[in-house]
Every structure is written in C-alpha cells, then in structure tokens.
Amino acid sequence: MGCICSKGAAEDEEGVVYHREKANEYWNKSSSVQLIAPLPSNKDDFSHKAVDGSSGGGRRASGLIVPIDDSHDGKTVIVERPSRSQRGRRVSDNGKGGGLIISNVPRSAEAELIAAGWPYWLTSVAGEAIKGWVPRRADSFEKLDKIGQGTYSIVYKARDLETGKIVAMKKVRFANMDPESVRFMAREINILRKLDHPNVMKLQCLVTSKLSGSLHLVFEYMEHDLSGLALRPGVKFTEPQIKCFMKQLLCGLEHCHSRGILHRDIKGSNLLVNNDGVLKIGDFGLASFYKPDQDQPLTSRVVTLWYRAPELLLGSTEYGPAIDLWSVGCILAELFVCKPIMPGRTEVEQMHKIFKLCGSPSEEFWNTTKFPQATSYKPQHPYKRVLLETFKNLSSSSLDLLDKLLSVEPEKRCSASSTLLSEFFTTEPLPCHISSLPKYPPSKELDAKVRDEEAKRKKAEAVKWRGHESVRRGLRDSKVTPEFIASGNSNVSLTTPSFKKEKRFTDTNSVIHPSSRSNVGEVKPSRSNNVPATMGDYLASSSQKENIVSRAPATTYMRKKNRMHYSGPLMPPGGNIEDMMKEHERRIQEAVRKSRLEKSATKKNKDISVKACA
C-alpha cells in the first residue's frame, strides 16, 4: 500500500522526485484531482492541491488525495502533511501539457501508514507494530459499560456496530504523546500479533484516528475472570474443574513460551473465562520477548506482588519462563483454598511469606547466585519448607505438582510442557470438559472489589452505633490483635508484644491506621492479612518457632537514617528478615501513636476555642 509519490522514487540533489510513469497511469484514468481545504489547526492539518504547470508549477502544497494503486478503482486516500524535518518536495508529471502534481509526504513506510489513517505520533514510533493494519473508527463502536481499570488503561464493554458483536475495548491514553509510552504499547501490540492460540486473547483490531490522542485495543468479550469466579460467594471449584482451568492456562502459556514470549503478569484477573468455559490469557502489557542466551538484562519490577517469583524479589535481571510457572503455582493453590496464599503488603513481607511457606534456598543457591538483594534477604537461620504439611488435604498428584511449581530455586521448577504431561492431568479425577463447567452470572475482579467495599461500608455503619462506649471499653481493655489470622474459626496467632500503658492511649500490635478502625476499640485485621484456613497448622508451628517479639518501648524513636520504607529492600547488608519485621512493626506503632497524639491535641485546641468564644 502506498501513494503514487512514494514508490520507485529516486531523489536528485534538490530532493525533487519524478514519478512520471505512475502519474501518467493516474491521469489517463482521471483528469481531475479532488480538492480539500486545509484545517485551521497547524498541528494536525492536511491540505491537497493540483497545480497546473502552465500556471506556476512551483507552488507548494501540503498533501494530495490520490489513488494508491490500480486495484482501488479510483478510490482516494489522504496523505497527511508531515513534520518540517521530514518534508520532501515530490513532483510527478500529470501527463497533460507538462503539468505537475506536487505533494509533500513523509518517507515511504510512514506515508503508507499515514495514508491508511494512522496518527503520526503512532507511525513515527510504532510503525512496525501496526504495519499492514487499517484502524477502525471510534464511532463504529458503542461503549456500554466499564468492566475494568488499570494503571494506564480502562477496559469497556462495547458493541461493534458493524457486526453487532459484543467486544472488550481497552483504552490507552498517552500523556503528551510520550514516545516511550507509545513504544511500550507498541510492544504489547507486536506480541499480541505474534500469538494465535485458543487459550490466548486475540487482538481483533485497533481503533484510533489521525486527530486522536488515544488508542483502543479491541478483543473478544469475556464474561468472567478467574479471580472474580473464585471470590464469588458460594463458589467452590471441584478438582476436575480446577484441572480443566489449569490445563487451558498451561496450554496457552506453552504457546507463549514456545514463541519466546514471557507474560510476566499471570494472575487471576488476567485469566479470562467466557460463558462456554474457555479460559484465555489476557493483558500482555508487561509481556516481553526473551532468548535463553540473551545479553540484554530484563527488569525485575514485574508481576503482581502476590504472584511474584522469589528471584524477581531478589532483583534478578536474567530469568525465563520459570517466573510464569511460579505464578501458575500460586494460582493452583488459590483455586483449591479460594484465597490468595501469600498476600504480602511489601516486597520484604512477601519474601518473608515465601520463606515461611516454601522454605529458604539452599546455601549453594546463595553462594552461586549473584542477585542484587541476596545479602539483604538471606535469613540468619534457614526456613523449613512446610508446603506439603500446609496443603496436606490435597491429592498426591496435586501436591506433587504444587511442590514443583513453588520451588524457591527457579531451575527446579517444571516447564509448561512438562506440567501438561504430569500425573496431575492423567490420574483420576481427570479434567472435566469445558462444556460441563457451571454457568455463572458475569464475574470480574472489579465486581468482587465492589462487593467487598459494599460489605465494608455496611459494617462501618453498623459499628457506629457502638459509639464512644466501645472506645472507652477499648481504652480500659487495651486488647492486642494478632498479626495474622488463618481463618475465622482459628485461634492461631503469632506472639504479640506488650507495652507499658500510657494515659489516654491504647496499645496495639495492628498495622492498621486508627482512621480505618471506625472508632472501634477492638482492631480488626486487614483483608491482606487473611490466609487460607488450611494454613492454620503452619502458622501455629512457625509462630512458636520464630517467637517474633518486639520488646522495645513504643515511645522509642529511630534515627532518621534508619527509618523504614515500605517498598523494596528494607535492610542493610548483613541484616535479616526477623529483625526487619520487628523493626517494621515497631515503626508503624510509633506512627499510630504519633497520629493519635496529634489528633488529641487538635481536639483540645478546638475545645479551648469553643470555650473562649462562649
């Protein structure tokens, strides 16, 4: 695809290009060129003129409407005016009395894309990703509902007005047309175009225009995601159903890995399921190409925290498919227990949870690897692996697969191909057929979050009736809340510190800010602290062994240089996880106490002001 001014061109010293043969063909078919007035905008304008040689062929023009080739049967396309740095004066003989057609167009490759309707900010950076495609118009779709939102995008349910089908539209906006942001999105488009598998989301088309500052990616609409289904009240998957979902996930992942693509964000909300039970891997925004022997380092700041492999937390920049398989192991366990198994709030806490459940790496691993954060995270005493004891109620084939997928050392994890051949899929009960999966109302992770927020709101309204009586009782009792609660029926808790009471303030071991307590004397554990009921035994044993106790007074303040941060490695070289967790807890207690002091002082000042006015 191209215009008559962009094929078979050879520039002379003054940058003037003659296309006599193509122009003659064009003018033999038509004796006139359509004229369009330029738009008022200087940034996105495009204009088109035909200049007769007898009336001053030296005049300049911004662009030209011309047929691309003979197959278009006289149809015209618009060539947009390029930037000043890319303009080239191109001249063609019109075949009539020596007249010339003059038009300014970009280089041939970009000219083809611009002629097809792509905006210049996209063609100049991501031309390879959109090559061969023609954009759809925004008014050919009708947005129906918002079904998801990410950091850089919003996902809508929409109707394709040309086909009548329901689709999902992912809208991506680029701040100030930043080339790096556009290039980042181009990588996702490039990856999606290289994938073609029943268990991988297929990019159907792109929606944009020359004057648009956004881009829409159009996919097949999927009614559910795995997270939304697993968190749906009353839903409990059977083992054959879990095997059915896992088989589809691994088939899609095998396809990606065989083409040298890492997903790097496998989680429940990115595993989409339609009403027919078909699971497809979606959201390749963090995906990347990889080669086993590549020299270029990769970033370790990928994968959602709860599903992030330990080597990424240690700062590895050389990794492969094993990071996706770790995430698959987390998904497998989550489907069995209906809750995330390692919901860390910070990277340090996430690594701590991994060590407590999966054990710490061997001494040989620490000696042979050179991860940037290895010295910070290496524990003083090795952690025992309690994975099998924690999930002892699972079948032997399920335990065996889970044990391989959640290996702390990446080289010991199985691949997607070998996992599909494991006993997990060949022993009874076998995976069910997708047609036998139950039907559910539309269930997205966003729906689950809305339900949680609604439940929290109702709970907050209910506790308001307790009023100040509850607060006063809390001041008298000063009960300490356990840091972790395995389930609603479990009495297991870690050892909690005790502090000397001060007037007007309660002692607490909770990391919840007082403003989130709704004025209740008893502090409630945050959602992220909840772990599956099947983990009760492991929490009980680990809490007794570790005996994590903070004995320092709550009023002791740390020096500024030792203040804790809440992301990334928090320990100096030579530190250890236990000391860090103690310091982390004590620091939050100090922040809570300081906040309450300030709140109390503000209240006193208000009372004094009111009395003074009276």
Q: What angle do CA 174, 84, 121 make, to 5 degrees?
A: 15
**Rounded to an integer, what distance in angstroms lies between the CA atom of residue 573 and that of residue 401?**
35
How far is the C-alpha of 25 from the C-alpha of 33, rounded, in Å? 14
Encoding tokens for residue 288?
């990347």
CA-to-CA distance for 417 and 247, rounded, in angstroms?
Answer: 11
Closest CA to 108 of 133, 135, 121, 90: 90
Exactly one of 93, 160, 225, 265 is catalytic; name it.
Answer: 265
Per-residue CA distances from 49 to 36, 90, 211, 397 (Å): 8, 13, 21, 73
Question: In the chain, what's the furthest Cα-to-Cα distance?
Answer: 103
Distance separating alpha carbons of residues 332 and 406, to the nearest angstrom: 10
User: 376, 314 in Cβ contact below 8 A?
Assistant: no
**170 annotated binding-site participant:** yes
Q: Are 611 and 603 in contact (CB under 8 A)?
A: no
CB 285 within 8 A of CB 186: no
Rounded CA separation 318/288 (Å): 13
**What is d(CA 212, CA 219) in angstroms, rounded to the nearest whole number?**
20
Q: Nearest CA to 419 among 532, 251, 305?
A: 251
Q: Are 323 and 311 in contact (CB under 8 A)?
A: yes
Residue (of 347, 355, 350) closest to 378 by Cα position: 355
Instruction: List the beta bridge partners of residue 273.
Output: 224, 279
CB distance 79 to 64 below 8 Å = yes
Assess contact for 6 and 113: CB atoms under 8 A: no
The span from the CA of 341 to the CA of 539, in Å, is 12
Kindly report the length of the chain: 614
Which residue do the tokens 């992220």 mark?
Answer: 528
Residue tagged 């899929």 (tokens):
425
Let me know if 265 is a catalytic residue: yes
Cβ atoms 167, 220 nearer than 8 A: yes
Pairing of strands 17-18, 89-93: parallel
Torsion angle, CA of 454/460/465/468, rounded to 10 degrees? -170
DSSP state of 215: E
Are the C-beta atoms of residues 46 and 78 closer than 8 Å to each other? yes
Cα–Cα distance for residue pair 337/227, rounded to 1 Å: 13
What are the residue numbers of the active site? 265
Q: What are the binding residues?
A: 170
Q: What are the binding residues for ATP?
A: 170
